[in-house]
Amino acid sequence: MDLFTFDRPRRDIVGESPVAPTRDAYSPYGEAWNEFDRLQRTASGRGPLSWTGWVFDMLLAFGFIFEIHFSKKYAFWLFAGWFVVRTIYFVDLHIKQKRFERWPCPRCHAEWPGTKTDKDLRCKVCGLRLHQLTP
């Protein structure tokens, strides 16, 4: 009958783990698949640097289309910023494509077969499917 008494000791409730949740909590290779998805987005040209480059492209395009006359100082810095962002983008794209091309299988750590922008559906060594728990 101690169900409604206040003398009962308090049970501690175990909270969430401090680790960030993965895309699929039941996946044994969840972090590896998250990295795979990030590399695939960047290798196919959809990363954060591509959006930044797109913004600079639009600024330059609107400047030329609407014949906005910048002072020579601002025009130089706008073009220099565009050049730096595009250079960093292409270097990052090249590095990420190489990493994506040589991405290891999370199970057997062999290189996953495929190209710089597309991967086969299964690992040829151990047979693991891409995102093995997705339908």
Amino acid 68: pLDDT: 67
Report the DSSP beta bridge partners of residue 104: 111
- pTM beyond 0.85: no
Amino acid 67: pLDDT: 64
Closest CA to 135 of 22, 24, 21: 24
CB 34 within 8 A of CB 108: no
In a structure prediction context, what are the per-residue pLDDT tens digits for the chain, which is 135 residues long? 555 666 665 555 554 444 444 445 556 788 888 888 888 888 887 877 788 878 878 877 877 776 666 666 777 787 888 888 889 888 988 888 888 888 898 888 888 888 877 888 888 888 888 876 555
- What is the residue-wise DSSP string for 49-109? HHHHHHHHHHHHHHHHHTT----HHHHHHHHHHHHHHHHHHHHHHHHHHHHHHTPBPTTT-
The enclosing H or E element of 31 equals: helix 30-43
Residue with tokens 């062999």: 110
Q: How far apart, in whole angstroms, are the C-alpha atoms of residue 93 and residue 98?
A: 9
